[in-house]
Amino acid sequence: MAMRIIKKDLKKGILAVKLDGPEDLYWLSFAIKPGDLVTARTTRRFKPEGQQRPDSGERVPVTLTLEVEKVEVDSTGGSMRILGVVRRAPEWLGIQGKHHSIEVAPGSQLTISKEHWDDVALEVIERAEQSTLSPKVLVIALDDREATIATISRFKVTPEVSLRASRRADARSRRADSIISKEFFSELSEIINRLVERHSPEAVVVAGPGFFKEEFAKHLTEHFPEIASKIRVVDASSATLSGVYEVLKRGEVDRVARELSVSTDAKLIEKFLADLSKGSRLVAYGADHVRTALSYGAVETILISSHMVFDQRKRDLSKELLELCKKTRAEFRIVDSETEPGQVLDSLGGVVAFLRFPVEEQS
């Protein structure tokens, strides 16, 4: 789940990106300034001659370039509106020089043109790409005859191993079938263990048709318990590389990424609460205390809720905090307010910090 930089030509001031998750909308709104040119696909209603009703005609996709005047992020983080004056559009639309808006959401692709990309705006985009990197996941697609193993990292699928069972057992010979399954499972498990040691994936996804995948996942857990917490079992119709791509296209890897992200958030919030309960002076919560700590360069990491980031009423405050993070080299992490750790974070004022050294809150 990461913003992807598709094209980068800073000499011409051009940066093209594809959005993936709701966090990307915030990063983008932070980087786009009034006067920038934004090019994206949108839809306009085309009215044949003679039709006057506002809802007449069909909506057709068009590419527009706006000179930005304002950017609005929906409070839920689901979409963003870019408002401005149309500078480039198909002539038949007749909207050159008129005000218009483009709505973008996860999945949208757009090009931003600036006279000059300042360091802060550029870092925000590059950091967005880096801070939401997809996890490295090992995917095993298998059935009772073969298995295909691949690693998925970021936007790349790397085939690792293809393995076939020594022979398919006669369906009438349960004992032969059991022996071959054990041999197949053992060989496959050893290979997976070596790949886990080599690549250190955040998750191991076992996929395939029928019940065979559950049997193998059980075998893998019993023989390599240190991998057990990483294992996820999902459906796939094939034991070939197409089965691996099926897992990817169906969003299973994204789901794993979300689970891992929430798990990380929960651990960080748990650590913060534990430190707070012990009276540690190396934590801060609430915008005022965190702002003060940032101004002294005392912050190591802040956790900020998505509600605080996307709420228009708190936008200036969250921007100020993240700009201070940039200036003081503090790390930051946005926590989804729809999750349990996000709800706890919102109850603490929407932002907490782990400090390098104590800083008293200013009264």
Residue-level pLDDT, tens digit, the chain, 363 residues: 567 889 999 899 999 999 877 778 877 887 898 999 999 998 877 666 655 555 556 778 899 999 999 998 876 667 899 999 999 999 888 899 999 999 998 889 999 999 988 776 777 777 677 655 567 899 999 998 999 999 987 557 899 999 998 755 454 455 445 555 788 999 999 999 999 999 889 899 999 998 999 999 999 999 999 999 999 999 999 999 999 999 988 888 878 877 888 888 999 999 999 999 999 999 999 999 999 999 999 999 999 998 887 777 887 898 889 889 888 989 888 888 888 999 999 999 999 999 999 998 776
C-alpha span between 108 and 89 (Å, rounded): 18
Residue 63, token pair as written in the block:
């590419």
38-39-41-45 Cα dihedral, nearest 10 degrees: 80
Long-range Cβ pairs for the range 336-343 (8 Å, 24+)? 336/261, 336/262, 336/265, 336/305, 336/306, 337/305, 337/306, 337/307, 337/308, 338/306, 339/262, 339/265, 339/266, 340/262, 340/266, 341/262, 341/265, 341/266, 341/268, 341/269, 342/265, 342/305, 342/306, 342/307
pLDDT of 107 reads 86
- In order of 138, 156, 169, the CA distances from 240 in angstroms are 14, 17, 20
Classify 337 as helix, strand or coil. Answer: coil
CB 328 within 8 A of CB 299: yes
pLDDT of 253 reads 80
Residue 86, φ and ψ in degrees, nearest 5: -70, 120
Residue 176, token pair as written in the block:
């032969």
CB 111 within 8 A of CB 14: yes
Per DSSP, helices labelled H in 7-117 are 22-31
pLDDT of 276 reads 97
C-alpha span between 4 and 125 (Å, rounded): 9
- In order of 67, 293, 298, 348, 354, the CA distances from 357 in angstroms are 45, 9, 6, 21, 9
Closest CA to 10 of 125, 87, 127, 88: 125
**Which domains does the chain carry?**
4-131 (2.30.30.870), 137-250 (3.30.420.60), 264-355 (3.30.1330.30)
C-alpha span between 106 and 254 (Å, rounded): 13
Contacts of 252 (CB under 8 A, 6+ apart): 205, 207, 232, 234
C-alpha span between 314 and 350 (Å, rounded): 10
Contacts of 55 (CB under 8 A, 6+ apart): 45
Closest CA to 231 of 250, 211, 259, 251: 259
Element (H, E) at 201: none
